[in-house]
Amino acid sequence: MGGMTLAQVRNRFIKHASPWILATFLAVAAIARLVVGDWRLSDLLLVPIMLAVFPFFEWVLHVAILHWRPRTIAGITIDPMVARSHRWHHAHPRELDNIFIPWQAFVTLLPAFAAIGLFAFPRLGLGLTFILVAGALGLGYEWTHFLIHTDYRPKTSVYKAVWRNHRLHHYRNEHYWFTVTTTGTADRVLGTYPDPSSVAPSPTAKALHALEV
């Protein structure tokens, strides 16, 4: 594909459904939050808390769901669609058109975040702040993940570290470096951020669990 400019990456990015689904979710949340008002200090405090928690949410989702190993229980094979999609992504990490969160996942994911925001917080305004930040984090995740897999080269030290972290996961060893949007924050805490030189290349980095896709 050759090198890509940031504008080329953006134009490719917005041709897919996932960014538009997340942008619409974010826009609706922003409008609702502005209409409700009732801004308090707790809204401001919620933002850094969510930013700190998000890498760990990414890590758990990546390890427990995306890297799910198919299991057969009582004769029924449990192999979620998102896990199958992720195995395909590992097998074809340069295939940009199939890199996004499957639209089917949004059918449960977005209502779940909306329900948490509307029913798990002591006031509506704070819950809408949660939904708004969750939408922004989701869109940021999709953009960062897409950008890493393109041929756009890092221009800043921060993005270079994020880029390197995820590339190591795909091209060196799939058992480490699970965070995507940060420089391995959750990985450092949870013990999946080794010195790359100490980790042998994995023969199953492109074939998770040694399964054909």
Residues 53-79, mean pLDDT to the nearest whole number: 95
pLDDT of residue 211: 86
In 3D, which of 113, 101, 134 has the Cα closest to residue 18?
Answer: 101
User: Rounded to whole angstroms, how far apart are CA atoms 116 and 81?
Assistant: 23
With 0-12 CB in 10 A as exposed, 13-18 as middle and 19+ as buried, what is 42? middle
pLDDT tens for residues 104-117? Answer: 999 999 999 999 99
Identify the band that residue 1 occupies on the pLDDT scale cut at 50, 70 and 90: very low
pLDDT of residue 212: 76
Mean pLDDT, the chain, whole residue set: 95
pLDDT of residue 19: 97
Would you kindly state where each structural domain of the chain is located, as residue ranges?
6-210
- 209 pLDDT higher than 50: yes
Largest CA distance in the chain: 54
Chain mean position to CA 50:
14
**DSSP 8-state secondary structure symbol assigned to residue 144:** H
- Tokens of residue 140, six digits: 């940021």
In 3D, which of 58, 51, 24 has the Cα closest to residue 130?
Answer: 51
- Under 8 Å between Cβ of 113 and 57: no
Phi, psi of 71 (to 5 degrees): -130, 140
- 20 pLDDT higher than 70: yes
Identify the band that residue 16 occupies on the pLDDT scale cut at 50, 70 and 90: very high
User: How distant, in Å, are the alpha carbons of 28, 39, 116, 125 from that of 36?
Assistant: 12, 9, 17, 6
pLDDT of residue 2: 53
Identify the band that residue 3 occupies on the pLDDT scale cut at 50, 70 and 90: confident
